[in-house]
Structure 1
Amino acid sequence: MHQPYKFKVKNILSAILTLILICSVTRNLSAFHTPKPNFYSPLTNLADTIPPVKIDSAAKIKFEGSDTIPPNNTTDSAKLQVVDSFSLKLSKDTLSAPVHYFAEDSVVTLIRSKKIKMYGKTKTEYTDITLTAPTVEINQATSVLTAVRSVDSTGATADYANFKQSENEFNSDTIRYNFKTQKGLTKNTISEQGEFFVHMEDAKKVDAATTFARRGFFTTCNLDHPHFGFRAGKLKLVNQKLAVTGPVHPEFEDVPVPIYLPFGFFPLSKGRRGGFIAPSFETNDYWGIGLTGGGYYFAINDYWDARVTGDIYSYGGWSLNVNPTYRKRYRYSGSFNLGYRFTKNNFKGDADYSAQHNYSIVWSHATDPRSRPGTTFNASVNASSTRYNQNIPNNTQQNLLGNMGSSITYTKTWIDKPFNLTVSGNHQQNNQTNTVTIGLPDIAFSVGNVYPFQKEDYSGPRKWYHQLSIAYQGNFRNAVTFNDTVNSKEVYGKSFFAHLLDTLQWGAQHNIPITVALPSILNGAVQVAPSVSYSQVWLNKRTQYRWNDVLDTLETDVTKGFFIDQQASFGLSFNTSLFGTFNFKKGKVKAMRHVIRPTLSVNYRPDLSKQYYSTVQIDTNGNTNRFSQFVGNVYGGYGEGRFGGMNFGIDNNLEMKVRRKKPKDGDTTTTASEEDPKVRLIDGLSITSAYNFFADSMKLSPFNLSFRTTLFEKINITAGGLLDPYEVNAIGQRINKLYWKSSDFKIGRLANANVSMSTSFQSKPKDPEKEKKKQEYQRQQINDPLLAAEQQRLLEYMRQNPAEFVDFNIPWSININYSLTYTNQFNTQTAKFDNIFTNNASFTGSFNLTPKWNFSVNGYYNISNTKLETFSMAISRDLHCWQMAINVTPLGPFRFFNFTISPKSSLLQDLKVNRTRTFQN
């Protein structure tokens, strides 16, 4: 049963005492008064200091517009008009825009002094201004912001005050900025202007772009205490445009250099600007004292620029190079290099006096395939006088360059049709024999596989004749050959142009292959493919040989005209693969896998060229030889004799699987799920030959041998050779006598062979991420055709100045290349075969002596002559914002040394100390 609550005396007394206690504690408090003058309050709780807006309740009302509802006391034509008497009174210290701020530690507001203080990592934003600093104070009364740096326990700067407005950004110890006037004062300011860093002890910012300062310092060193720079007492800085100073002088490691200029002008604008290129001083024993590399850079427009440089020597030699470059993004890019060199060795009257005029034309062009799908135009031209490269000082690679080639190619591929057109111009020259061959134009047109018996709307299983395809390849060539060191008028009695017309050759070739893919046999193990082909060549001259009994010499008679040679062939090929695996229960080797790929084809080729071959006496002993009448044409004639036989070959691949090491207790680097590693022993070992059943003699063709492998995933080895199974007579002609029938140990005569090996080793990079970015950048340049020209120019400069491009991130690296060539050549004087070996090796190496010192070498050693043909070495020193390089080449056509100290920045590339001395062998 519910009991009513009973009042007790002790409960009443407790309530009275509690009320008395609350009144006594709160008797001095007021809800609208703050007795302490420095009461701190978070800025977010600050009361609005703007007085409340007074709204006139007696607003005048006027009707306007027919779509409004008028009051009852008006007519339909009345218009409603509202006159608002709202007014806003702004404070005198109000800014034109709001100020947004953030502090990681705290934000404190001083009410009476009208100041806001922020601590920690602060960020303040006002219009286009962003300020970050450790400590910031905003004075609302004066609209002045003060930012101060922070220091560590040693007194060094821990964090700067950073000011950013549009493209203007700088770090300072102290920043005082007025929001209203947009002017400010800074102490110990560092501003980055392009590649320049401007240090200012006291700076005054007068507007968004202009700053005046005293005790300024210009440098390209990015340290707080730079290694070098230019000191000025007063300066004016216009952001990202220019800086003008009073008297200025350079300083190195705080040591002033007593070279003063009355004023300084520093262009700071971004983009390309034209200007002079300072030359380098050089001394050459044969050419005299010279100034090299001087000239002018032209920034023509956004798509074109050009460098014009030249060399001049005291003996009278000079050279001129014009190097324009062009580029249009997503379309094309390229560059020219036109060079003319007048080389003058010593003076007239000297025994070794010589004077030569040489030229060089280099053109590189690439189009972006995305600009015009199906159409490309590329050019890679490297043509010059055959002696031009021999007269380039201090460039061993160019001096020894034996062959040069060029190509200009236009291709058109029809996307919806199987047609392809290629028009090209080609150039080949041999700097050893001084011969030059130019082919222009070369035209190639092809039609892809066409399936005449396959209907487009056919459905169901395909028949074998559906796979029959017909294609076409046609080529048309022109070529002229001349010797650029021979005076054609003196030798041939005609002008150079007339001599070119005499050497002009043209020719065409047509191929029509017909193939069909038959179903495989033996459960798919053997692939069968029949083929039929017909080809034809058009030639412009015929050469007939005859023996002159009176003069006892072999004479030739050349007839120009239009001649046709042709051939046809029929074949049936068989291809398969055989696999064999050998498992080992014990030992480190777990298994070995051998793959054999035999090929066999049966072919028949009728003799359609017999009438163009003749047997001619070649010496007074009555020896004869067979000659083709189409020797020396752009397309050689086809071989004589019919062929009916087999082409056969075999290719081998061998790899090994190694048992991986069992993980030890506590080893977390190896897991049980990892597979056993595979090691490739032989990537390829092949032998190919042919046997002609219709031949009267020597039915077996020479054996072609090839081998390739990679050892330890580091050493690449390739080898090849030609093994002739028949013997030769006294004058070196093959006879119908097999080697293995007269010798127990020889299966044939090794006519020629070659072996090449290459390897490279390098240490792990100090910074893996930096190396990864470098490789990614190189891959992008290789894959981007628009960067090919720029990459080629950079590589050429790197070859000439290896010490300036040292990668200190790789402590050491070694590259070795070795090649051996063997030729079994018949000597007509001794009537014997001579074994001719060409044996050489090239090497490059680089290693860091210290983290800042690097030593590198490269050379070429002729093992056959036991002679070091070329050798050069370089020492490099990383001076942070500067670099020092010493290059020495004691061997080669030009022996030289070079000493250079220069800034890394491209802005100060002319501020360098260079000493070059060249000695010519």
Structure 2
Amino acid sequence: MMNGRKNNLKDGSALILSLWLLLLTSDLWANYFSSPHFDNSLTWIAQDTTKPVRALDTIPKAPKRPDSVPGKDTLINKTDTVVNKTDTVNVAVSADSLDAPVAYKASDSMVLNVPDKKIILYSKANVKYKDMDLSADSIELDQGTQMVTATFRKDTAGKMIGRPVMVQADSKMSSDVIKYNFKSQRGITENTMTMQGEMLVLGEKVKKINDKDYFAYRSQFTTCNLDTPHFAFRANKMKMVSQKLAVSGPIHPEFEGVPVPIYIPFGFFPLSQGRHSGILPPQFSQSEQFGLGLEGLGYYKVLNEYFDVTMRTNLYSYGGYSLFLTPTYRVRYRYNGAMNLSYQSSRILSNSAKQEFTNTKTYSINWNHTVDSRARPGTSFSANVNIASTKYNQLIPNNPTLNFTNTLSSSIAYSKTWGTKYNLTATANHNQNNQTQVINLNLPNLSFTVNTLYPLQPKEYAGVSKWYHKLGVGLNSTVSNQASFLEKNFSLMKIIDTMQWGAQHSIPIQLSLPQLGPFQISPGISYSEKWYSQKLTRTWDTVNYKLDTTIQKGLYRSNDVSFSLGLNTAMYGMFDKFGKKSPIAAIRHVIRPNLSFSYKPDLGAKYHYNVQVDTAYGKTPGNGHFQRFSYFDGSIYGAPSEGVFGGIGFGIDNNIEAKVRSKKDTANGGIKKIKLIDGFGFTSSYNFIADSFKLSPFSLYVRSTLFEKINITAGATMDPYQVDSFGYRIDKYMWQKKGFSLRNLGRITSGNIAISTSFQSQKGKDKKAAQQKEQALKDQGGILTAEEQQAQLAYTRANPAEFADFNVPWSLSLSYSMSFSRAFRSDYSGWQTTTYSSMSWNGDFNLTPKWKFGMNGYYDIKASKIQTFTMYISREMHCWQLSINVTPVGLYRTFNFTISPKSGILRDLRINRTRYFYQ
């Protein structure tokens, strides 16, 4: 049986006939130049036949040859005629078409009116055309006029729904009605609100003539975003250039919708963000010592995109003045920096009857420079210069932080790295003490470092490395220059006379041995050498009974060598027998003991000597206490250590942690780790070879963060030896005097402790508002330079009420510090203990949701005196803020009253009253 398909006679005949017709018609259009189209474009436009039309695609005819014979074949030379065929695309475009697509949508419905060529979108309508984005409740598009009309609607309660919002380029506007022409990009709006930077512009009618320019009729300027602004500036006519500026005719302010009859002939409002040249307005002040003041008057000039400069001045009625010049520069991805040059000519009313005024001239130089690490990999340069007269900080009014800053320092550094092995650093440093008026200069300082090299390590090896492969050798070489002088003695000759230089070279040799069970052994050898430019010799004057010092210039050197072997390990202990219901699950104790054996020969004894320092036992030479000094005391790198050392160094470091059960945190089985003590321990050494004082003083320390809130850092030095009646050490242990006990282990000769904590209310804290505020600050200010940050920080400290955070109901910060040390008196007449102790606080709380009260101060416990104390009250008024700052105690007693808009663009419109009194 055949399963194949049966052939049909009719089907076969139809197939043969089709093939035959196809062959007959395959060359039907061969004599035509192009195939005719049987389709017709929907946008076909009939040409105007009244005007001559040039043929687009034509082939010139061959010229008639003179020897041609009628009726005969005509020979045409095809090479004589060049025929240029041009491909032309003749696409007809409708007169009402747009040059870009329009995207539209609606959530309810869309009505298409074909005869009128209109499209109406209902409910949450949106139209996008190029960079224009229009949203409204309903939008009507008219294709004939190319107009779009957007409107809102009201619900049964009369509430407005779908108010039109138009966003284009950098501008955004919200209106009751928006009419916009796609073709000309012009439009008109009613009851429009637009945001230009920080400025809010309201207009009854706004006409848009292009994507940047607007004209407004009966408009308002304000930074208050309420329906009825707390304040505004009203103008009848106004022109705005988006994100640049606004210019108006006569303008007057109004408060709570009530106009104030104070007219200004015209208004000019900058709307753009970024840098712009202009006058910096001043503020008035009054002081019994300085007189009436005009502070902050200046000019800001933008020279180009990389460089700008600020010039300010303070003028006082008693004749004093201050000048400030602050140029800044920046090149993105390369470097940035700023400089601040200040000059003060202070004329202060004197409290003395001998003279009416006290005249003081001071200066200050600040410079910071930072290079982007991506600019030149392997090379870096930075500068942080802070040089000023010793009395400069004292003469700055209303700034307690600077008034009590007595130390200044500067640093300029350049470094170059070659690969990962070699590094060269050149620095220049400066530091000064405003109390002692001593200035120290260190320049230039050179440092060359060779990172640890492993000469016995092969470049390529297989298997486990050998122990001697870890033998490393390095090099550290430094050269320094130093000059010290008093500010009143400043001169080039004084700098040269006090200049001294020194050098130090160190070659560390280390070896990392494989770990032996729980122990890690690290042997090492170090050789160092120091060069000096001068030698000091102290002698006892038997006539005047005092020490005399002589200085000898030259080149002197000392060397030292040491051998060491280190051993360290770690031990762990845990106690977890607290019971299942106890909030404490376990306590863990980690002990890290370290032990080192070292030997150092006495290569520095020849650089030390004994000399008499007093007449404790009579004025006969030799009847007094003797003190050991070095010829190189006071040098840059210090005197070489004397005495042979062959002994051990030891120490123990501990930390204690607790595991507690948490009901809130269910992660890790509800167990949370808490550090009770971050670290505590001691270090010391014992010299077996020394003939006396074999046990070195103990260095004690502890650091902890209690309850994740209280930071504690403390340290002390304990001397295990007794002293005589004059305070000099004797070779007897403390426990040999009164028996061995913890109390008699030693004498505390120096110590320090610092405690700080900070608390703030979490209740009522709006994290989202805080994040929005921080983001707004970043958008407005961008990235600030170090000088700008310091300037803002100084202004914040001087005017804390203007920066009150109502988002935090209350906050409190406390800190306490204490230090003491025992040292020789300056005339070597005995020993004295110097103690410093102080406490500072900073706190605030909300009296009401709109009133905040705060205070901060600094108390000197040693002097039993409050050095500075500041109180402030701040009032939140939506778009305005009132602040009162009072400093009743301090170098300057100040009173400041300020009411100003919160907006930075209108901050200069503040009302300010400042008075300060110099102590």
TM range (shorter): 0.7 to 0.9
Question: RMSD in angstroms over aligned alpha carbons?
Answer: 3.3
Residues 75/107 of structure 1: CA separation in 2 closer, same or farther (3 Å cut): farther
- C-alpha separation in 2, matches of 1:64 and 1:377: 77
**2:902 is matched by which residue type in structure 1?**
K
Q: Does 1:463 align with 2:466?
A: yes
Residues 83/769 of structure 1: CA separation in 2 closer, same or farther (3 Å cut): closer
Is the CA contact 1:543–1:557 (under 8 Å) kept in the aligned structure 2?
A: yes
Q: Does 1:625 align with 2:627?
A: yes
Residues 850/159 of structure 1: CA separation in 2 closer, same or farther (3 Å cut): farther
| Alignment deviations for residues 356-406 of structure 1 (CA, whole Å, 9 cap, x no partner) | 111111112212212221111111111111110011000000000121111
Equivalence for 1:211: 214
**Structure 1 residue 874, shift from structure 2 partner:** 1.7
Q: Does 1:880 align with 2:878?
A: yes
Equivalence for 2:364: 360
Matches within 5 A, 1:39-50: none
Matches within 5 A, 1:511-550: 511-521=506-516, 524-550=517-543
Is the CA contact 2:537–2:550 (under 8 Å) kept in the aligned structure 1?
A: yes
2:318 to 309, 315, 319: 315
Equivalence for 2:23: none
| Alignment deviations for residues 47-70 of structure 1 (CA, whole Å, 9 cap, x no partner) | x996877899xx9986799xxxxx
Equivalence for 2:652: 650
Is the CA contact 1:50–1:90 (under 8 Å) kept in the aligned structure 2?
A: no
1:104 to 107, 126, 131: 107
Equivalence for 2:380: 376
Equivalence for 1:23: none
Is the CA contact 2:195–2:201 (under 8 Å) kept in the aligned structure 1?
A: yes
- SS class of match (2:315): strand
| Alignment deviations for residues 771-800 of structure 1 (CA, whole Å, 9 cap, x no partner) | 46778999999xx99854443333233222
| Alignment deviations for residues 778-835 of structure 1 (CA, whole Å, 9 cap, x no partner) | 9999xx9985444333323322222222233322221111112244567899999766
Is the CA contact 1:593–1:655 (under 8 Å) kept in the aligned structure 2?
A: yes
- C-alpha separation in 2, matches of 1:265 and 1:774: 28
1:584 to 577, 594, 602: 577
Equivalence for 1:766: 765
Matches within 5 A, 1:71-86: none
**Structure 1 residue 769, shift from structure 2 partner:** 3.7
1:435 to 435, 438, 457: 438
- C-alpha separation in 2, matches of 1:403 and 1:701: 33
| Alignment deviations for residues 239-265 of structure 1 (CA, whole Å, 9 cap, x no partner) | 333322221111222222222112222
Structure 2 unmatched ranges of 5 or more: 1-39, 50-54, 62-74, 618-622
- C-alpha separation in 2, matches of 1:120 and 1:256: 39
Q: Does 1:505 align with 2:500?
A: yes
Residues 192/730 of structure 1: CA separation in 2 closer, same or farther (3 Å cut): same
- SS class of match (1:701): coil
**Structure 1 residue 455, shift from structure 2 partner:** 1.7
Is the CA contact 1:235–1:244 (under 8 Å) kept in the aligned structure 2?
A: yes
Residues 528/736 of structure 1: CA separation in 2 closer, same or farther (3 Å cut): same
Residues 831/727 of structure 1: CA separation in 2 closer, same or farther (3 Å cut): farther
2:401 to 397, 402, 407: 397
Residues 673/597 of structure 1: CA separation in 2 closer, same or farther (3 Å cut): closer
Is the CA contact 1:598–1:651 (under 8 Å) kept in the aligned structure 2?
A: yes
Residues 104/619 of structure 1: CA separation in 2 closer, same or farther (3 Å cut): same
Is the CA contact 1:731–1:831 (under 8 Å) kept in the aligned structure 2?
A: no
Equivalence for 1:757: 755
Q: Give the stretch that moved more between structures: 610-619 or 696-705.
A: 610-619
- C-alpha separation in 1, matches of 2:272 and 2:826: 73
- C-alpha separation in 1, matches of 2:662 and 2:259: 65
**Structure 1 residue 658, shift from structure 2 partner:** 2.7
Residues 155/450 of structure 1: CA separation in 2 closer, same or farther (3 Å cut): same
Q: Does 1:690 align with 2:681?
A: no
- C-alpha separation in 2, matches of 1:555 and 1:403: 30
Equivalence for 1:34: none
**Structure 1 residue 843, shift from structure 2 partner:** 0.9
Equivalence for 2:601: 606
Count residues in correspondence: 844
2:452 to 449, 453, 466: 449
Residues 778/721 of structure 1: CA separation in 2 closer, same or farther (3 Å cut): farther
- C-alpha separation in 2, matches of 1:135 and 1:893: 67
Is the CA contact 2:137–2:161 (under 8 Å) kept in the aligned structure 1?
A: no
**1:628 is matched by which residue type in structure 2?**
S
Equivalence for 1:639: 641
**Structure 1 residue 857, shift from structure 2 partner:** 1.4
- SS class of match (1:500): helix
1:900 to 880, 883, 898: 898
Residues 252/467 of structure 1: CA separation in 2 closer, same or farther (3 Å cut): same
Matches within 5 A, 1:72-471: 90=94, 99-153=102-156, 155=158, 157-346=160-349, 351=355, 353-415=357-419, 417-471=420-474
**1:481 is matched by which residue type in structure 2?**
S
Residues 691/82 of structure 1: CA separation in 2 closer, same or farther (3 Å cut): closer
- C-alpha separation in 2, matches of 1:86 and 1:654: 87
- SS class of match (2:451): strand
- SS class of match (1:411): strand
Q: Give the stretch that moved more between structures: 765-774 or 552-561.
A: 765-774
Q: Give the stretch that moved more between structures: 124-133 or 338-347.
A: 124-133
- C-alpha separation in 2, matches of 1:780 and 1:94: 40
- SS class of match (1:499): helix
Is the CA contact 2:473–2:509 (under 8 Å) kept in the aligned structure 1?
A: yes
Residues 610/154 of structure 1: CA separation in 2 closer, same or farther (3 Å cut): same
- C-alpha separation in 1, matches of 2:218 and 2:647: 92
Is the CA contact 2:591–2:652 (under 8 Å) kept in the aligned structure 1?
A: yes
TM-score, structure 2 as length reference: 0.86
TM-score, structure 1 as length reference: 0.85
**Structure 1 residue 457, shift from structure 2 partner:** 2.4
**1:365 is matched by which residue type in structure 2?**
H
Is the CA contact 1:133–1:149 (under 8 Å) kept in the aligned structure 2?
A: yes
| Alignment deviations for residues 430-459 of structure 1 (CA, whole Å, 9 cap, x no partner) | 111111111111111110001111121233
- SS class of match (1:849): strand
Is the CA contact 1:730–1:831 (under 8 Å) kept in the aligned structure 2?
A: no
- C-alpha separation in 2, matches of 1:860 and 1:177: 63
**1:555 is matched by which residue type in structure 2?**
D
- C-alpha separation in 1, matches of 2:514 and 2:158: 86
1:909 to 903, 907, 910: 907
Is the CA contact 1:819–1:840 (under 8 Å) kept in the aligned structure 2?
A: yes
Residues 777/537 of structure 1: CA separation in 2 closer, same or farther (3 Å cut): farther
1:729 to 724, 746, 759: 724
Q: Give the stretch that moved more between structures: 868-877 or 911-920.
A: 868-877
Residues 525/225 of structure 1: CA separation in 2 closer, same or farther (3 Å cut): same
**Structure 1 residue 149, shift from structure 2 partner:** 2.7
1:817 to 815, 818, 825: 815
Residues 282/786 of structure 1: CA separation in 2 closer, same or farther (3 Å cut): closer
Q: Give the stretch that moved more between structures: 703-712 or 243-252.
A: 243-252
**2:899 is matched by which residue type in structure 1?**
I
Is the CA contact 1:64–1:80 (under 8 Å) kept in the aligned structure 2?
A: no
Is the CA contact 2:613–2:828 (under 8 Å) kept in the aligned structure 1?
A: no
- SS class of match (1:498): helix
- C-alpha separation in 2, matches of 1:82 and 1:174: 51
- C-alpha separation in 2, matches of 1:90 and 1:487: 90
Is the CA contact 1:816–1:844 (under 8 Å) kept in the aligned structure 2?
A: yes
**1:644 is matched by which residue type in structure 2?**
G
- C-alpha separation in 1, matches of 2:167 and 2:654: 68
